[in-house]
Amino acid sequence: MPDAPEVKATSNGIPSPSFHLPLPDRPDIITANVQKLTELTPNPRHRFIFKALIKHLHQFVNETSLTTDEWMAAIDFLTRTGQKCTPLRQETILLSDILGVSALVDSLNNPVVGGATENSILGPFFTEDAADVGFGESIASEGKGDYMYVEGRVLTTDGKPIPDAVIDTWETDDHGFYDTQYTDRSHPDCRGRLRSDKDGKFGYRAVVPVAYPVPGDGPVGELLLLLGRHNMRPNHLHMMVEAPGFHKLVTAFYPEGCEYLRSDCVFGVKKSLVVNLKDVVDDEESRKRGFPRGGSFKLLQYDLVLLTEEQSVTMRTGVEERYTTLGDHKSTKS
């Protein structure tokens, strides 16, 4: 016999409600009961979100006539997805990515505003430890891929230069791996942090991005196989731009011509982010720009247009109004 516990098991302190729920003799009464209890949620935004979640989740179960085995398989899948996560591997975000939820949340929260550079999903490979890279320097060590020069300006929506903006940029090497995917990573590579100059200009050497697969050795990889979907991202170069008083831009550029451009497994591509890489076949120009082997290189030119914080708040307010008037009950964020 186990020792008698010294402390009595207690509730979380929330009293039982002033009403009694009908004991369900039909499935729809279960849904109504859950919604009635959810009405008690103190925070209006939380109440709104969870009422919508329960409505759609229960609707999904009804609509699909979900079997017990299917629901248990889903629970097993979600359990394994969580268990696959480590400080370096985020399988749950990957699930959100391949279901298009990351891209949808990103799009709703960063609406298109005339002229501003559009967002694209961050992905799991940004790191804080990128080295500072001066104007015209390289983010990639020699041999990491074909030469590419990236240049442009950081601008306001009315075309004024933004000096001293911090630009983080990262990409895979020509094997399709980020530096963090190598177990023997000794220093950051194919990533760098630079600043726009007094005219808002930036320029750096990089490598031509290649298409690569998102991790396929976990539950999300299994799900993609089950769905008959590939796990490839089209080739791209990530950029994140920050400047005081401006809304942080997280984006990526996708060279045209990639076979995966229109079936990105994480739905990150937007029309305005598809770029043309110019072929520069000029050995002298290549050496002048600092490419050690000379020869030809690709040129990516793009101006990064940032919203002020004020512009971004105005845009987001419109989105929030849409969020909070959907469904049965209005709510406000608090």
Binding site for ligand BEZ (CB under 6 A): 94, 97, 121, 123-125, 214, 233, 266
Nearest approach, Cβ of residue 303 and ligand BEZ (Å):
22
Quote the tokens at residue 262: 């229109």
Q: Does 219 bind Fe ion (CB under 5 A)?
A: no
The CB-nearest residue to ligand BEZ is 123
Residue 168 near residue 148 (C-beta atoms within 8 A)? no
Site for Fe ion (CB under 5 A): how many residues?
1
Choose between 125 and 323: whose C-beta lies nearer to ligand BEZ.
125
CB closer to Fe ion, 173 vs 247: 173
Two structure tokens written together for 169: 């940029």
Q: Give the separation between CA 138 and CA 196, rounded to whole angstroms.
A: 15
- Count other Cβ atoms within 10 Å, centred on residue 39: 12
Q: Based on the shown chain and the rule CB under 5 A, indicate whether residue 268 belongs to the binding site for Fe ion.
A: no
115 binds, among ligand BEZ, Fe ion, none (CB under 5 to 8 A by kind): none
* Least Å from the CB of residue 92 to Fe ion: 18
Residue 221 sits in the site that holds Fe ion (CB under 5 A): no
Euclidean distance between CA atoms 149 and 136, whole angstroms: 8
**Closer to ligand BEZ at the Cβ: 50 or 118?**
118
* 123 is a site residue for Fe ion (CB under 5 A): yes
The conformational region for residue 134 under phi > 0 = left, psi -120 to 50 = alpha, else beta, is beta
Whether 125 and 194 have beta carbons less than 8 Å apart is answered as no
Q: How far apart are CA 331 and CA 20, in angstroms?
A: 25
Q: How far is the CB of 266 from ligand BEZ (least distance, A)?
A: 4
Least distance (Å) between residue 233 CB and ligand BEZ: 5
* Tokens found for residue 238: 């990530």
| Shortest reach from residue 261's CB to Fe ion, in Å | 14
- Produce one character per residue of 264-285: b if its CB has 16 or more CB atoms within 10 Å, e if not: bbbbbbbeebbbebeebeeeee
> Segment contacting Fe ion (CB under 5 A): 31-39, 43-51, 115-123, 257-265?
115-123
Kindly list the residues in this chain that would bind Fe ion in the complex (CB under 5 A).
Answer: 123
